[in-house]
Amino acid sequence: MEINSTHKRNQKWLLPILVVTLLTLFSWSCQSAKESADERKRLVKHVILIGSDGLGAYAFEKAKVPNMRKMMEGGAYSLEARAVLPSSSAVNWASMIMGSGPELHGYTEWGSKTPELPSKVIGPEGIYPSIFSLIDKQLPDEKMGAIYTWGGIGYLFEKPLVDIDHHGKSDEETTQTAIDFITTQKPAFTFIHFDQPDGAGHGIGHDTPEYYEAVEMIDGLVGRVLEALEENGMMDDTVIILSSDHGGVDKGHGGKSLLEVEIPWIIYGHGIPHIGSAQRSIVTYDTGATIAYLLGLETPQVWTGRPVLEIINANLNDKD
């Protein structure tokens, strides 16, 4: 009787131990699977965002832009992507890299240096979280940079987090600085901002020969970036997104016409399918979310942008 009693007591202890052991093994298995899944989330090593100030989608009807056309034909694009309102600079550049509209990040004007509307959330660096803060937190060992010709860009991102913060004196200088940084440092993310054709649009007028000359000049600079990537063997793991903050009418912008609101959105590079025109609604704040998706980053709940999954090649997700 005593032997049976001891045996029963041992059985009572063995069952909980077995359950705990199985649960522990299951937890380890799930964690391992999660880590593997997280490792697969990053789709490319390098993402470059090229922003051309004042480049309206309508410009593609008249301007000769062979390098942008190369990206469009070799990747995917929309000439019906939309800026947020008002169709002005700071509010839209902020929306692009902050993955949200002005009702959340708070930058609402052409030259906003601080939010006119209190930001919904404030990140560790004292401003609404941009793609730079996401990279800093989730890919802390990676490099990133912002090279821009319009000084207003400098108020829209977390300066202490970047490896290069360069305000170029001209679009040509901005281009060369960006090329040097990208090819030597191999950053995860680079934001290149060109001030043209916005200057020509304000000075002479949109939809003028001088405006289209400025567009074609920017196309040549885009070609230099593409050439540098190819010469340095980086196109095999790089995705480039090219877009703008707004278009324009006469010598201005900021209104509600499609000439001011419709902007180009081009994505090109490793793994991006050659599908041409994308039949999908794109708003400028989707750009930040798409960059985050390509780099395998989790986005804040407050971001409203959505990654443009429909035109990202599915085989990227299967890459080892």
Question: pLDDT tens for residues 254-276?
Answer: 999 999 999 999 999 999 999 99
Residues in contact with 206: Cβ distance below 8 Å, sequence separation at least 6, in sequence order: 54, 56, 247, 248, 249, 250, 251, 253, 259
Provide the CATH number for the domain formed by 44-318 in this structure.
3.40.720.10
- At position 108, the amino acid (one-letter code) is T
Q: Is 251 left (phi over 0), alpha (psi -120 to 50) or beta?
A: alpha
pLDDT digits (tens, 9 = 90+) for 173-188: 999 999 999 999 999 9
6-15, 22-31, 292-301, 310-319: least confident range: 22-31
Question: Using an 8 Å Cβ cutoff, are 221 and 171 in contact?
Answer: yes
* Cα angle 50, 53, 55; round to 5: 95
> Could you tell me the pLDDT band of residue 105, with boundaries at 50, 70 and 90?
very high
Distance CA 240, CA 227 (A): 13
With cut-offs at 50, 70 and 90, classify the pLDDT of residue 319.
Answer: very low
For 153-164, how does the pLDDT look when each residue is reduced to its tens digit (9 = 90+)?
Answer: 999 999 999 999
Is it the case that residue 206 has pLDDT exceeding 60?
A: yes
Q: Quick one: tokens of 7?
A: 């045996």
User: What average pLDDT is seen over the chain?
Assistant: 90
- Secondary structure of the chain: what % helix, strand, coil (to 5)? 50, 15, 40
Q: Are 117 and 307 in contact (CB under 8 A)?
A: no
Q: When comparing pLDDT for 257 and 310, which is higher?
A: 257
Locus of tokens 């804040």: 300
